[in-house]
Structure 1
Amino acid sequence: MKPIWIVDDDQSIRFVLEKALLREDLPTRSFTNPREVLQALDSGEDDDCPQVLVSDIRMPGGSGLELLTKVKEKHPGLPVIIMTAFSDLDSAVSAFQGGAFEYLPKPFDLPKAVELIRRAVEESQREEVAEERMVAAPEMLGQASAMQDVFRAIGRLSQSNVTVMITGESGTGKELVARALHKHSPRAGGPFVAINTAAIPKDLLESELFGHERGAFTGAQTMRRGRFEQAEGGTLFLDEIGDMPFDLQTRLLRVLSDGHFYRVGGHNAVKANVRVIAATHQDLEQRVKEGAFREDLFHRLNVIRLRLPALRERIEDITMLARHFLQVSAKQLGVEPKRISDAALVRLSTFGFPGNVRQLENICHWLTVMAPAQVIEPKDLPPEVMQVTSDAHVAPRGALSANDSAAASATEVAPQPAGVSVAPVPVNGSAGSWESGLEAEALELLVSGRHDVWEELTKRFESKLILTALANTRGRRIEAAQKLGIGRNTITRKIQELGLE
């Protein structure tokens, strides 16, 4: 792992941080002034430039803010934490304009300092993974005519800063397209910042987008830049925009309209020079009709719309994608790439892929780990693929979406809300089928890098239980609650929380 670089002329500060970080298995390297840091960066002796830089603000031989500026020129993605005495807080706050990750007031609480540095390490690692993917992997693969239309659209938009709306089912590659639009745009030199509006709690989303001032709310001990400021001069990708809370839609509309916003608790307008690309798997026109999405925001975002095809609409691409993902998985795991037989590819092509390209990628990763031989045969494919008959494109148990429910021929599915993925109930009650489906879905979500897997699957599980019970009792809530073994108030509250009304 790359070391944490500590820059401070105070030996006691360096010593305390070194010992605390080493206890956390975080390697360190210390410097007494900014000049030494710049020499180390220029010398080339450290190919592994720091994971995180922690610097004092006032030192003999240079300022921490000057060091921040010079380091950001060489390594724009490197998180820099500025340490400062309370008398320097105004200077430290101005460091955010230069791209500081956070500042650490002295005297500091050691566990909090370590926690902050660990957060910076995680941010650094995320940046590295994102850069690796953008540099090492092909942008997108696809020979199907539907994908060629997408490629042509990206080409036509390459010199434009216009707002784009990307639609398509989950797992079709919406963020990949957004990155391609950024990479081939006049803003390619600026940052690409992505945020999943559905994955962040409503109470935190406003601060996450627009930032907050110190003291804006309980726990806001420092000023924080939001995603709009982080994306200054570049592109902000708003994934799952259809799930954005209604009151925040108003704030977003204002930013798109006049190019200014206010941090939470702030009184000074901040200019936003950002291109917005939005994405959703939902039918936004329907959301507008239902009153859940602002019509004026919809039209503001829907300047250019790109629809990504589901994988079942581009079956001819499955062979190429599967071989590519097997190569990628082997490289990640440091093993010899496995080959896949034509018979196994035919079986894959009969699968409905409700999780689309992401699900195919996860299956290939599973095969790299679990297939016993170097050549993958049909019998080596995971259970959800093997359950599909060769004459019908049926979604696997445990991963059936609302749009695919009509395709299931041997299952009984209770009515379900749009966008909720639930497991069908087998007619013959085959033992373990829903557990294997749950396992496959959990693995897919975990491998995708999401951090709300517990909440997401719990929500689906509870939704399915309640809908099935209500279907069984013809909508009688009290009777459904009794059969489920929960209270009347509990089922009412859950119906409201899960949006099942």
Structure 2
Amino acid sequence: MTKAHALVVDDEPDILDLIKITLARMDLTARTAADIAEAKRLLSDQAFDLCLTDMQLPDGSGIELVAYINARYPETPVAMITAHGNMSSAVAAMKAGAFDFVAKPVNLQLLRRLVESALRLRESDLTPPEKTGSAQELLGQSRPMREIRRLITKIARNQAPVFITGESGTGKEVAARLIHGEGPRQAAPFVPVNCGAIPEDLVESELFGHKKGSFTGAVGDKPGLFQAAERGTLFLDEVADLPLPAQVKLLRAIQEKSVRAVGSQQEVPVDARIISASHRDLNTEVEQGRFRQDLFYRINVIELRMPALRERPEDIPVLAAHILERISRQTGRGPMRLSSAGLERLTSYRFPGNVRELENILERAAALCESDEIGVDELYLPQGSSSTTIAGSPAQTDVPLENYLDEIEKKAILQALEETRWNRTAAAKKLGMTLRSLRYRLSKLGLD
């Protein structure tokens, strides 16, 4: 690895000296420019691994330089130096393509981490990330999925907050993991958290940590999820479910890049990329006062919309084949396939639960099927649920998806029990599950 080179653009000599000394201690060489014109000249002279630029320059805005470098030298990440508290400028810079930002007065610890992240980008360009298995794939060759994969590759090089939107079951967490896995933070933790699953009175403690004795039950110091995602990625799934008080503290943590544990008097710097997701329309949540507009503005620097499965029906055959291959491998059965009629039925189905529902349907079908070919009858799809006639689908009858799937599961289990004269061991074998698993499902469905 050759020595890295940085370009620093600022018209304040003190800032230039401070950054230049910091970079030298990190074994980087730095060239400095006082304005955009000089920066452009230096860029034409040599290649740089990183550029740090001030927002306000004598001959224009730093955002202009960001756009220029992204257009002419896209392999060079650019970080913006902003005035303290001027988050609108930081967000504007990242929307223009800035890699990250650091606020004045410059926190040297955060600056060093920013530079390290930029240099890891350089290393990841030289060594492509290893594929981490099928769980990390977004399958399909439809136009929407090709575009999603292209955007993920582009977004992974950035450090700006990403908001992933889409219906439940469209693969929002898979997309978040891919953004993490293809970027410079791939060696650090990916920490997913379902914001709707955290009790309201524990949200602050879970996200930011707490000190011993800060509340009843706090028997020791506990780091929060921000600290757990240090130098990695924090994935806030269903971020719309956060209560308003927690939204205020989350906004401050993202803006200041620091957190304060419950019961602590000190803030500690944190370096975690924020990716959030929700199946709700956050614009509507903001309009109705359930989500803070300033927080939405801050987390929605880059938006990635995951398409619904009914928008890409041509991907259903490859998805179904992949899921059945996984089921066969996990259960130790031989290869399974869909009949032509079964595949046609799936392709015409609207899938209100998207890929997650497809997985559930095929898992049930595999458990019920006694041969290696799954037909229409084993799919248990409602009649009249195609893309043209959907009167029987859950989306039209306002039946919650979970209740709808429970009814399918209940019907399959009762049929197996009746065919085996209510011999639970035989029914479990017929359904391709353990007796313990059958007992659990019977209890869950109220059949015990």
After TM superposition, the score normalised by the length of structure 1 is 0.54
Instruction: Judge conservation of contact 1:212–1:226 (CA < 8 Å) in 2.
Output: yes
Which of 190, 198, 201 aligns to 1:200? It is: 198
Give yes or no for the alignment of 1:362 onto 2:360: yes
Give yes or no for the alignment of 1:320 onto 2:291: no
Give CA deviations for 1:262-293 in whole Å, capped at 9, x if unaligned: 11111121211000000000010011010110
Q: Among the aligned pairs, what percent are the same residue?
A: 43
Q: Are residues 136 and 436 of structure 1, via their aligned partners in 2, closer, same or farther at CA, if it must alter by over 3 Å?
A: closer
Give CA deviations for 1:276-328 in whole Å, capped at 9, x if unaligned: 00000001001101011000000001100000001111100111000100001
Residue of structure 2 equivalent to 1:332 = 330
Q: Are residues 340 and 164 of structure 1, via their aligned partners in 2, closer, same or farther at CA, if it must alter by over 3 Å?
A: same
> What is the CA distance between 1:392 and its match in structure 2?
2.8
Deviates more, 1:361-370 or 1:195-204: 361-370
Residue of structure 2 equivalent to 1:226 = 224
Residue of structure 1 equivalent to 2:48 = none
Instruction: Judge conservation of contact 2:233–2:273 (CA < 8 Å) in 1.
Output: yes
**C-alpha distance in 2 between matches for 1:148 and 1:394:** 28
Residue of structure 1 equivalent to 2:390 = 394
Residue of structure 2 equivalent to 1:147 = 145
> What is the CA distance between 1:136 and its match in structure 2?
4.9
**C-alpha distance in 2 between matches for 1:330 and 1:177:** 25
Give yes or no for the alignment of 1:371 onto 2:342: no
Q: How do 1:9-158 residues align onto structure 2 when only pairs under 5 Å count?
A: 134-137=132-135, 139-158=137-156
Give yes or no for the alignment of 1:160 onto 2:149: no
Q: Are residues 395 and 197 of structure 1, via their aligned partners in 2, closer, same or farther at CA, if it must alter by over 3 Å?
A: farther
**C-alpha distance in 1 between matches for 2:269 and 2:405:** 51
**C-alpha distance in 2 between matches for 1:196 and 1:434:** 22
User: Match for 1:387: what amino acid?
Assistant: Q
**C-alpha distance in 2 between matches for 1:165 and 1:176:** 13
> What is the CA distance between 1:396 and its match in structure 2?
6.0
Q: Are residues 326 and 435 of structure 1, via their aligned partners in 2, closer, same or farther at CA, if it must alter by over 3 Å?
A: closer
Q: Are residues 395 and 146 of structure 1, via their aligned partners in 2, closer, same or farther at CA, if it must alter by over 3 Å?
A: farther
> What is the CA distance between 1:388 and its match in structure 2?
3.4
> What is the CA distance between 1:336 and its match in structure 2?
1.3
Which of 344, 351, 354 aligns to 2:342? It is: 344
Residue of structure 2 equivalent to 1:275 = 273
SS at match of 1:364: helix
**C-alpha distance in 2 between matches for 1:134 and 1:375:** 30
SS at match of 1:257: helix
Residue of structure 2 equivalent to 1:476 = none
SS at match of 2:321: helix
Residue of structure 2 equivalent to 1:287 = 285
User: Match for 1:254: what amino acid?
Assistant: R
SS at match of 1:348: helix
> What is the CA distance between 1:394 and its match in structure 2?
2.6
Residue of structure 2 equivalent to 1:3 = none
User: Match for 1:388: what amino acid?
Assistant: G
**C-alpha distance in 1 between matches for 2:135 and 2:304:** 22
Which structure is higher in RCO with an 8 Å CA cutoff and minimum separation 6?
2
For structure 2, the residue ranges without an aligned partner over 5 or more in a row are 1-130, 412-440
> What is the CA distance between 1:439 and its match in structure 2?
4.9
Give CA deviations for 1:336-365 in whole Å, capped at 9, x if unaligned: 121111210100112111110011112122
**C-alpha distance in 2 between matches for 1:242 and 1:200:** 12
**C-alpha distance in 1 between matches for 2:367 and 2:391:** 23
Residue of structure 2 equivalent to 1:42 = none
Q: Are residues 322 and 295 of structure 1, via their aligned partners in 2, closer, same or farther at CA, if it must alter by over 3 Å?
A: same
- Which consecutive segments of 4 or more residues in structure 1 shift more than 2 A? 133-138, 386-397, 420-423, 437-440
Instruction: Judge conservation of contact 1:238–1:276 (CA < 8 Å) in 2.
Output: yes
Which of 232, 240, 243 aligns to 1:242? It is: 240
**C-alpha distance in 2 between matches for 1:245 and 1:349:** 39
**C-alpha distance in 2 between matches for 1:390 and 1:305:** 31
Which of 335, 346, 351 aligns to 1:353? It is: 351
Instruction: Judge conservation of contact 2:136–2:178 (CA < 8 Å) in 1.
Output: no
SS at match of 1:194: strand
**C-alpha distance in 2 between matches for 1:134 and 1:164:** 22
Residue of structure 2 equivalent to 1:172 = 170
Residue of structure 1 equivalent to 2:211 = 213
**C-alpha distance in 2 between matches for 1:155 and 1:439:** 42
Q: Are residues 221 and 370 of structure 1, via their aligned partners in 2, closer, same or farther at CA, if it must alter by over 3 Å?
A: same
Count of residues in correspondence between the two structures: 288
SS at match of 2:349: coil
**C-alpha distance in 1 between matches for 2:324 and 2:405:** 27
User: Match for 2:210: what amino acid?
Assistant: H
**C-alpha distance in 1 between matches for 2:230 and 2:405:** 46
After TM superposition, the score normalised by the length of structure 2 is 0.60
Q: What RMSD over aligned residues (CA atoms) do the two structures have, in Å? A: 2.9
SS at match of 1:296: helix
For structure 1, the residue ranges without an aligned partner over 5 or more in a row are 1-132, 415-419, 424-432, 441-453, 459-501
Give CA deviations for 1:370-392 in whole Å, capped at 9, x if unaligned: 112111111221x2x14335563
> What is the CA distance between 1:158 and its match in structure 2?
2.6
SS at match of 2:222: coil
User: Match for 2:179: what amino acid?
Assistant: L
Residue of structure 2 equivalent to 1:436 = 407
Q: Are residues 305 and 320 of structure 1, via their aligned partners in 2, closer, same or farther at CA, if it must alter by over 3 Å?
A: same
**C-alpha distance in 1 between matches for 2:264 and 2:388:** 57
